[in-house]
């Protein structure tokens, strides 16, 4: 039973790393997109 | 020829070596795109460098330019030098990158790009423009070029099933970088500005350190797959496609093939068509729709184009995995031709919505062209030297960077000097752009597989 547990541990660790890594790049990118959309909205006012 | 194993340095920097970046079993390949984005989101800042131009003309005069202040024409060279060194670095460091792996390349790119900002800060402090040219232009430009190509091959080897999507994600970051850098730089300058100081130097220091850290994080996260690794359940297509090779072509040999020059022309023409418009978007929209599009609305138009430029990178590169690279470029050129041809008509009928829609699609294809080219190169030349070949091909970008804006600006000026009203001055340019895209369509049409005499021998591929 040791092998599936080890696999689960790897999978959990990967999930945490994936969330952290994607947040690290995703949050600034979303902030940039939000700013751009706010600016672009001026075109339709 | 030095091999990857010989490139290992040892010592305290051994963690940068390719051998230390090989992924252990269980590593998720979805960690590699954020690693690439860490680099591309930073170097995409180059498109937002113009936000520093006006403040840097007031470093001495503060509220307005003093006689000893730098001129806008002098400052314009900073961006140009950076783009030239981007092209040179991408062209000349590709083979080195292939040998040492992505981590050392990303680390070096971080030092160059971040260090370029720090040297420029010193240049601003001492009011020595040559230091800014050297810092942001030369050193930063080398960081740009090396950073741009560093994750490409790694992504393609991690995602053999979706190479377009993988490289599209990274290169999308380059398009998105300016969206972050522009408001961030303006905000930082506002924080550091005092009645006797414009705050550029401090902003350069903060950006230099932040970008260096961010790019280093990419270097820490990135991994290369173990030899012969393949995604779970992935089976390479048993039915070979005509324009997808299973062989590899050496970077030096690639330059001897007509396919390299066809792709060079394809990229150059696709970029030329977009880049000229991007630089003139604000003025063009106001001149084509006088009274309808104000300066403020034009800024919104530019923002919208940036967004489509970014989204197009991911969308079109991902789509190319399904419809094929050649077909994707066929769409860029054919649809681009139609859209450029109807832009003058949208001005004639006064339809702002149609005008904006046309340019939004055009700019999505401009970004898509950048993002799809690495996968196209992989299809034609194989994966072994795709990073290095991509670096050489980026000289097409440098050429288009000069050609596109010159074409738009000079033809417009010629039209106005000939008595054409400003609202109609872009019509000829648009038709010329459509003509360039027709040439691009034909170049792409002529694309064939590389002759087998250029293929590497199996024993050389593993070396």
Residue in A18, A36, A43 nearest the CB of B179: A36
Residue in A17, A31, A42 nearest the CB of B31: A17
| Chain B neighbors of A45, CB-CB under 8 A | 297
pLDDT reported for residue A1: 45
In this predicted structure, the answer to whether residue B136 has a pLDDT above a threshold of 90 is: yes
**B307 to A33: CB separation less than 8 angstroms, yes or no:** yes
How far from each other are the two terminal CA atoms of chain B, in whole angstroms? 9
Provide ipTM, 2 decimals.
Answer: 0.86
In this predicted structure, the answer to whether residue A7 has a pLDDT above a threshold of 80 is: no
In this predicted structure, the answer to whether residue B286 has a pLDDT above a threshold of 60 is: yes
pLDDT reported for residue B9: 63
Residues 6+ apart with CB under 8 A from B418: none
| Chain A neighbors of B180, CB-CB under 8 A | 28-29, 31-32
What is the DSSP-derived secondary structure letter of residue B22?
B
**B300 to A42: CB separation less than 8 angstroms, yes or no:** yes
pLDDT reported for residue B154: 94
| Over residues B24-51, mean pLDDT | 93
How far from each other are the two terminal CA atoms of chain A, in whole angstroms? 63
Residue B239 CB coordination number (10 Å):
4
Is residue B82 within 8 A of residue B141, CB to CB? The reply is yes
Residues 10-39 (A) with a CB less than 8 A from some CB of B: 10-11, 14, 17-18, 21-22, 24-25, 28-29, 31-33, 35-37, 39
Domains and CATH numbers, chain B: 25-221 (1.20.1250.20), 251-455 (1.20.1250.20)
pLDDT tens per residue across span B347-361: 889 899 999 999 999
**B301 to A40: CB separation less than 8 angstroms, yes or no:** yes
pLDDT tens per residue across span B210-234: 999 999 999 999 999 998 899 888 8
Q: Which of B386, B427, B380 is nearest to B408 (CA)?
A: B427
| Over residues B116-124, mean pLDDT | 98
Interface mutation target, options B26, B170, B286, B312, chain A, most CBs of A under 10 Å: B26
Q: Residue B207 corresponds to which tokens in the numbers above? A: 């950006």
pLDDT tens per residue across span B367-406: 999 999 999 999 999 999 999 999 999 989 888 877 777 7
- What is the C-alpha to C-alpha distance for residues B108 and B85, in angstroms, rounded to an integer? 15
Residue in A10, A21, A32 nearest the CB of B176: A32
pLDDT reported for residue A39: 84
Q: Residue A13 corresponds to which tokens in the numbers above? A: 């660790």
Is residue B57 within 8 A of residue B70, CB to CB? The reply is yes
List the Cα angle B6/B11/B15 in 5-degree steps.
Answer: 75
Q: Is B2 exposed, middle or buried (0-12, 13-18, 19+ CB in 10 A)?
A: exposed
Residue B190 CB coordination number (10 Å):
10
Q: For A38, which residue in chain B has the nearest alpha carbon?
A: B300
pLDDT tier for residue B1 given thresholds of 50, 70 and 90: very low
Residue in A14, A25, A41 nearest the CB of B26: A14
């Amino acid at each position: 039973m040791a092998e599936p547990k080890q696999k689960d541990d790897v999978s959990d660790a990967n999930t945490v790393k994936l969330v952290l890594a994607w947040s690290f790049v995703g949050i600034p990118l979303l902030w940039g997109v939000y700013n751009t959309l706010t600016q672009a909205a001026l075109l339709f006012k | 020829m030095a091999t990857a194993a010989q490139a290992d340095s040892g010592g305290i920097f051994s963690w940068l070596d390719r051998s230390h970046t090989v992924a252990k079993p269980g590593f998720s390949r979805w960690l590699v795109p954020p690693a690439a984005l860490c680099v591309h989101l930073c170097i995409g800042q180059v498109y937002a460098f113009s936000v520093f131009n006006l403040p840097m003309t007031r470093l001495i005069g503060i509220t307005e330019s003093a006689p000893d202040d730098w001129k806008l024409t002098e400052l314009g060279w900073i961006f140009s030098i950076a783009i030239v060194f981007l092209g040179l670095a991408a062209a000349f460091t590709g083979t080195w990158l292939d040998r040492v792996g992505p981590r050392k390349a990303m680390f070096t790119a971080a030092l160059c790009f971040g260090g370029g900002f720090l040297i420029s800060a010193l240049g601003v402090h001492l009011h020595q423009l040559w230091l800014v040219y050297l810092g942001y232009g030369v050193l930063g430009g080398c960081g740009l070029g090396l950073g741009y190509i560093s994750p490409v091959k790694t992504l393609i080897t991690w995602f053999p099933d979706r190479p377009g999507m993988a490289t599209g994600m990274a290169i999308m970051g380059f398009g998105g970088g300016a969206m972050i850098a522009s408001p961030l730089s303006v905000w930082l300058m506002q924080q550091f500005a005092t009645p006797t100081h414009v705050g550029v130097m401090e902003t350069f220091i903060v950006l230099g350190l932040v970008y260096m850290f961010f790019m280093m994080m990419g270097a820490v996260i990135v991994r290369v797959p173990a030899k012969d690794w393949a995604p779970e359940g992935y089976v390479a297509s048993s039915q070979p496609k005509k324009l997808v090779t299973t062989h590899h072509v050496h970077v030096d040999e690639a330059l001897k093939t007509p396919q390299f020059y066809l792709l060079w022309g394809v990229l150059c023409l696709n970029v030329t068509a977009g880049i000229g418009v991007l630089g003139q978007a604000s003025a063009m929209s106001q001149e084509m729709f006088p009274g309808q599009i104000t300066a403020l609305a034009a800024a919104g138009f530019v923002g919208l184009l940036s967004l489509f430029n970014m989204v197009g990178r991911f969308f079109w590169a991902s789509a190319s995995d399904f419809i094929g690279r050649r077909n994707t470029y066929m769409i860029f050129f054919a649809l681009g031709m139609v859209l450029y041809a109807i832009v003058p008509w949208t001005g004639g009928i006064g339809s702002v919505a149609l005008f904006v829609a046309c340019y939004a699609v055009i700019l999505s294809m401009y970004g898509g062209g950048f993002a799809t080219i690495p996968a196209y190169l992989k299809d034609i030349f194989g994966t072994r030297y795709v990073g290095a070949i991509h670096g050489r091909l980026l000289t097409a970008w440098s050429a288009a960077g000069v050609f596109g804006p010159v074409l738009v600006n000079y033809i417009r000026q010629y039209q106005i000097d000939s008595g054409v009203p400003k609202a109609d001055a872009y019509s000829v340019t648009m038709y010329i752009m459509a003509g360039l895209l027709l040439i691009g369509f034909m170049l792409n049409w002529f694309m064939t597989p590389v002759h087998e005499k250029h293929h590497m021998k199996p024993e050389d591929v593993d070396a």
